[in-house]
Structure 1
Amino acid sequence: MNLIQVNKIDFELFFIGTTVTQNLCEGSIAGSVAGNKFQLNLVIGLDEAGDQKINVFSLLPYPMYPKGKKIWFNTKRCSLNKQITTILIPFINLPIIKQLSVSISFFITLISGLWNNRSKQCIVLVYNVFSPFSIPVLLATRLFNCKSVAIIADLPFDDYDFKGLKGILQRIDFYVQTHIISKFSGVIGLTSKIISEFAPLLPSIVIEGGIDIIDEGTTFSIPKKDKEIICLYSGALNEINGIKLLLDAFNLISEVDFRLWILGDGPLSCLVEQAAELDNRIVYWGKVSNQQAKICQREATVLINPRPSDNKIAKYTFPSKLLEYLLSGRPVISTRLPGIPEDYNPHLIFLETETSHDLAVLIQEVCLGDTYDIDTIGTNGRKFVVSKKNWTCQSKSIHDFLITL
C-alpha cells in the first residue's frame, strides 16, 4: 500500500494526555515542559501527517490540594494552534478523589467522542499508562472495538519511594502500570527496553522524541566574556540526573575562566545554590523559560548530560535534553545511557567512567585540548537532529505505524 492510499483511510484519532499550550505549561509548577512539548509536537505532527481528524482530551497540570488551592475544575476548551483544540476534562482536586474523578471524566468524554464517530475506524492514543488515564482508555476502546495505543515516556520508577501506607498504594499503581501495557493494541516506547520487557509481543515502534525547529525566535540575550569557557546543564535538579556528579567534577577544575551554568529547578536546587555561593564561577539561573534555555545552550562552550547510566530508570528513558542540546549546535558530553539509540553515538562525546575525576578531565579535554573539533562536532550534531529527528519525520513514522494496526 502506498502513502497516498494510506492517507485516504477514513479513521479518527483520539489523544489522551496532559497536552496544553507551552505558556500554560510553563506557568504551572505541576507541568512538565519536556513532556508537554513531546505531546504538543506529536499532536500537531499527526494532524499534519494525514487526512484524519485528531481529538485531544487533556488533564490540566495542576498541583493537588493543599499544594494547589483550587478544588473544582470545570470542562474547558484550550486552543493548541489554529487547527487543534483540546478539551480540558473536569475533575475534583482532592487526594484519591482526583484520580477517581479524572478516570470517570476521561471515560465519559472518550465514550462520547467514540459514539459520535462510531461509523469510522477509531484509534485512541494515551500518553503514559498512569492508571486514571490508561484504564478508561482500555475500557472505552473495548466497548467500541477500537484500537488503543500506549505512548510510554515515563514509568514511575523515580516518582515512588514505596514507603509507608502511601507506599502500598504506590506498589499497587506500579503493578497496574507495568502490567497493563500488554493489554493495548500497540506500544510507542521511548526506548527499546520498555517494549522488550513489558510488551514484547505487541506491535511497536521506538520514538525517543523530536525537535521543533520552527520556534527559534527570542528577545532574550546574554552578555558573554570572550575568555569564558561555559559548561551548561539544563533540566531537573535531582539525583537521577547526576547533579552531584557534575558539581563534584566542576569543583576539581581549577581554571578561573571556566563557568558552570545550571538552569532548572528541583529537589537539589539548594545544593546548587550552596555551590554557587562557594564558587563564583557557578551561575545558577533557576527555572527559566524554554526559549531562554535555548539561548543559553547556544552561548555555551559545551553542554553536559551527567545522568548516571546505572540508575534503574536509565534503560527505560531517553533524556529529552539531548535533542535540545544537539539542536544548539554545541558539543555534548553525555554518559553512555542504555536508552540512547545507536545513531546518536557519532554526535555525542561519551563519559565512559562516571566519576567526578573523569568528568572533570573530559570537560577540560573537550574545551582546552586538541582531541575534539568541537565546532564540527556541534554542527554535525545539529544537522543530524534537524534532518533525522524533527517532528515531521517522527510523526510520519508514528502515523504509518498506526495505520498498520
Structure 2
Amino acid sequence: MNTKLITMNSYVLWLGSIFDQKTVMSSKAISPAANNWQVGLINQLSNKGIKVVTLGHTPEPIWPKGKLKMGHKQYKINNKIDCYITDYYNIPFIRKANLIEKYKTLFNLLICKYGLPELVISYNSYDHNSVTAINMQTNFQIPWVCIVADMPTKQPDITKQNEYLSNSDGNIYLSWAMYQNSKSINKFHLDGGIVDDHLERSELSNSQKHKKSILYAGSLTRWGGIDELLEAYKLISDDNLELWICGPGENDKVLNAATSNKSIKYFGFVTKSELTQICKKASLFVNPRPAYVIGNESNFPSKLFEYLQHMKPIISTKTPGLSPDYETILITPENDSAKAIASKITEVLDWDEDKTNQHIEKTLKFINQNKTWDIQSGRLIKWLIAKFNINSNNPDSVT
C-alpha cells in the first residue's frame, strides 16, 4: 500500500465491537454492559462533532461450542455510527492469530475509504486490538488511547497487558483503583454516564408501596455478589418483600432459590426496555459485589448506572473500583457480609416518604452535576484535545 496517497481525516477509529439490542439479546458471548457503555459514549462523542468508525468482530464461544467461522458485517448504530465487523475462523489455537490478521486487513480497507484516523481508541487491550493499534503507531504515527475496562487476573496475561498498556499513548480507566495506581503519564478516569433523557423518577402505586421489592440486575457470577445477596435475603423476615433477579448466565443457586422460595423472582436475561419496566416497580436496588474477590479491584460495577437513572435507593458494597464521588449517594453496608447487607436493606425499607424523597433529590443533583454522558463525554473530549489535538466538528457543544 502506498501510504503517501493516504490522507489524514477527522475521525476516530474505535477498536471495539458494538451491536444493536437484538444482536446482544441473541448472543451468549456479547457483554450487555460493555456494549451499553461503548454505545453510550460513542453516541455522545458523535453528538459533539467527533466522527467515530468502529472496527470489531462478533464474539462467540470457541468451536466446537460455538460456530466454526464468523461472518463479516457492516451497519450503522443509531443511524450515525459506522460499524464494521470482520470475519474470522473460530478455531482453537488459530482464532487469536486469525483475528489479528483480519483486523489488519479490515483496517487497510477502512483507511482506503475514510483516510487515516486522527486517533485510535481501543476498548481493552486484547491482542487483536493492541497489535492493530501498535501497527498504526509504528507505520502511521497515529496515537493510541486504550480504555481499560477489565484486567486479567492471572499470569502471563497480566504481564502481557501491562506491556501493551506501556505502549499506548494514553489510558482511560473505569476503575478508580486502577486509575490511582496507574503509572501512565497520560491517564484519565471515566467510569460511565447516563443519557439525560433516560432519567426517570418512578412513582410507586399503593400496592407497590405495600409489596416491596429488592432488585439485583447483573452477572450471576461470584464477581457480582449474587451468592452473598441470596444469603442476605434469608436473614430478612418480611412477608411483603420480594427479591427480583435479572441477568445473563446460569447459576444453580439462583434457580434453586427461585424454585424453593416463591418470593424470589428470577427474570433471566431481559431486554433493556424490559429491565427499565422492572426497575420502575422495584423499591430499591442492590450491588453486593464483594471487595475480596480477585478482579473486583480492576473493574467498575456498571449496573450502578442502570440503577441511578431511576434515582431510587442503592445499597452497594464499597469496592476499590468505585471513586469517592459515590459515597454521597450509595448506601454502604458495614462490610461485605450477608448479615451487613441484610441489615442495610432492612434499614432502607423502613425509610419514610420524606427520607426517600430527600435521597431522590440528592441523587438527581449528583447525576446532573457529574454523571450524564453529556458531561462525561465533554470531559473526555477536552482531555483528548489537550493531549492529542483532535478536532471536534462542533466545538461549542464541548462543555
Secondary structure at the counterpart of residue 303 of structure 1: strand
* Residue number among 45, 64, 67 corresponding to 2:65 in the alignment: 67
> Quick one: distance in 2 between partners of 1:379 and 1:136?
46
Q: Would you say 1:144 and 2:140 are equivalent positions?
A: yes
Paired letter, 1:92: Y
C-alpha deviation, 1:319, in angstroms: 0.4
Q: What is the alpha-carbon distance in structure 2 between the residues aligned to residue 62 and residue 395 of structure 1?
A: 30
Distance change in 2, residues 1:174/1:372 (3 Å): farther
The CA deviation at 1:108 is 2.2
Residue 63 of structure 1 and its aligned partner are, at CA, apart by 2.5
Partner of 1:165: none
- More displaced, 137-146 or 108-117? 108-117
Residue pair 1:323, 1:385 contacting (<8 A) in 2 also: no
| Counterpart for residue 193 of structure 1 | 177
| Alpha carbons 2:174, 2:190 under 8 Å: kept | yes
Which residue pairs with 2:35 in the alignment? 36
Q: Is the 8 A contact 1:79 1:85 kept in 2?
A: yes
Distance 1:389 1:216, change over 3 A: closer
Please give the alpha-carbon distance, in whole angstroms, between the structure 2 residues aligned to 1:183 and 1:73: 30
> Matched residue of 2:15: which SS?
strand
Q: Alpha-carbon deviation of 1:384? A: 2.3
Which residue pairs with 1:176 in the alignment?
A: 160
Equivalence for 1:204: 187
Any unmatched runs of 5+ in structure 1?
1-8, 163-170
* Pairs within 5 Å for 1:245-260: 245-260=228-243
| Residue equivalent to 1:14 | 13
CA distance in 2, matches of 1:57, 1:322: 28
1:242-287 Cα distance to aligned partner (Å, 9 max, x none): 11111111101121111111111334x2101111222221111111
1:283 aligns with 2:280: no
Q: Distance in 2 between matches of 1:224 and 1:99?
A: 54
- Deviation readout 1:214-267 (Å, 9 max, x if unpaired): 4689xxxx9965421111101010111111111111101121111111111334
3-state SS in 2 of match to 1:291: helix
Unaligned 5+ segments in structure 2 are 1-7, 389-399
Alignment of 1:40-189 (within 5 A): 40-50=39-49, 52-69=50-67, 71-114=68-111, 122-157=118-153, 171-189=155-173
User: Are 2:337 and 1:339 equivalent residues in the alignment?
Assistant: no
Task: Give the secondary structure class of the aligned counterpart of 1:316.
Answer: coil
Q: TM-score, normalised by structure 2?
A: 0.87
Bigger mean CA deviation after superposition, 378-387 or 38-47: 378-387
Q: Where do 1:378-389 residues align within 5 Å? A: 378-389=360-371
- After superposition, the C-alpha distances for 1:372-400 in whole angstroms (9 at most, x for unaligned) are 92232134324422442121222222222
Aligned to 1:168: none
Code of the aligned partner of 2:242: R
- Residue in structure 1 matching 2:286, options 300, 304, 309: 304
For the aligned residue pairs, the C-alpha RMSD in angstroms reads: 2.5
Q: Percent of counterpart pairs with the same letter?
A: 28
- Asked whether the equivalents of residues 121 and 145 of structure 2 are also in contact (C-alpha less than 8 Å), the reply is yes
CA contact (8 A) 2:199 2:309 kept: no
CA offsets, 1:148-192, max 9 Å, x none? 0000111123xxxx6xxxxxxxx3333211321111000111123
